Amino acid sequence: MRYIFLLFFFPFLVHAQSNPKQLIEAANQRFAKVISYSAAINLNFQIPGVQLEPINGKVYYKKPTKFRIHSKGIIFLPKQNPYYALQSVRDTNSFTAVPSGSEILNGKSTTIISVIPTANSDDLILAKFWIEDARQLIHKVQLTTKTNGTITVEQSFGLFANYGLPDVIKFVVDVAKFKIPKVVAMELNSKSKKTDPENLQKGTGEITLKFSNYILNKQLDESVFEETKK
């Protein structure tokens, strides 16, 4: 009887644990409903060696990869757009997904899935997704890239969770210590500071994007995605 019970339920137990591609696909399906959006954005920066106040702006997105933030001042952004991880796993044949356990994140039960791209040409070496079991929302992604080291993206959701659109995205990026010659900075009469060993540990910068007033799937002019003057 016990064996019959196990035989009956085994496929379901295996399904939850060993079908990570379907979980990723489900998360992708949510976001696939978004063709374009515009929203108000607030950017907050915690970058070692850079003192930069928060700033507001407007953000535009258009499927598949167009993403642009308009703000009146200087902003630092991650090199990848916020949906880089999702875009990398759009084609389910282009990667191998391995379940790597589970974790409670922001009070939600998540499944951890490691993704290894099959093609060697991609910048992505390894991605780790924390996907909420109940709503198939990606709460955290850890990307290991060839060019930019490790990038962690943490997301929290609100009103637009049905579309997979987060209210807050926090990027944690590896940062090299900022240093320019004193002659270039023209720092006369300034005493050189002794290197604080604790400062050397601080090799990560954080950028937090807070989204509000999403307007979904409205026609966006191409000009909003054009490069601004540097």
Partner 1 sequence: MFRLLRVELFKIFSKPRSYIGFLAIAAIVMLLEIALYIDGKSYISFILQSLEQSFAVQGNLLNGYLVCFIILQTLIVQMPLLVALVTGDLISGEAASGTLRLMLSRPFSRTQILTAKFAAGSAYTFVLLLCLGVLALGGGVLLFGEGDLIVLKSDSLVILRSNDVLWRYMAALSLAFVSLLTVASFALMLSCFTDNSIGPIVSSMAVIILFTIIGTLDVPLFDKIKPFLFTTHMIIWRNLFDNPIDKLQVYTSVAVLIFHIVLFYTIALIHFNRKDIYT
Residues that bind partner 1 (CB under 8 A): 47, 49-53, 55, 69, 71-79, 148-149, 173-182, 184-193, 205, 207, 228-230
Nearer to partner 1, 78 or 164 (CB): 78
* Closest C-alpha among 79, 94, 83 to residue 35: 83
Nearer to partner 1, 134 or 183 (CB): 183
Nearer to partner 1, 30 or 68 (CB): 68
Q: How many CB atoms lie within 10 A of CB 105?
A: 17
- Tell the smallest beta-carbon distance from residue 56 to partner 1 (Å): 11
Structure tokens at 13: 């137990």
Nearer to partner 1, 97 or 207 (CB): 207
- Tell the smallest beta-carbon distance from residue 200 to partner 1 (Å): 12
Task: Give the distance from CA 41 to its chain's centroid.
Answer: 16
- Tell the smallest beta-carbon distance from residue 150 to partner 1 (Å): 11
- Tell the smallest beta-carbon distance from residue 66 to partner 1 (Å): 15
- Tell the smallest beta-carbon distance from residue 25 to partner 1 (Å): 29
Nearer to partner 1, 133 or 187 (CB): 187
Going from the C-alpha of 137 to that of each of 86, 157, 194, 196, 207, the distances in angstroms are 11, 8, 45, 40, 21
Residues 71 and 57 sit within 8 Å (Cβ to Cβ): yes
Residues 95 and 87 sit within 8 Å (Cβ to Cβ): no
Neighbouring residues of 135: CB distance < 8 A, sequence distance ≥ 6: 157, 161
The dihedrals phi and psi of 13, each to the nearest 5 degrees, come to -65, -45
Nearer to partner 1, 30 or 210 (CB): 210
| Helix (H) / strand (E) containing 21 | helix 20-32
- Tell the smallest beta-carbon distance from residue 125 to partner 1 (Å): 17
Structure tokens at 153: 């993206």
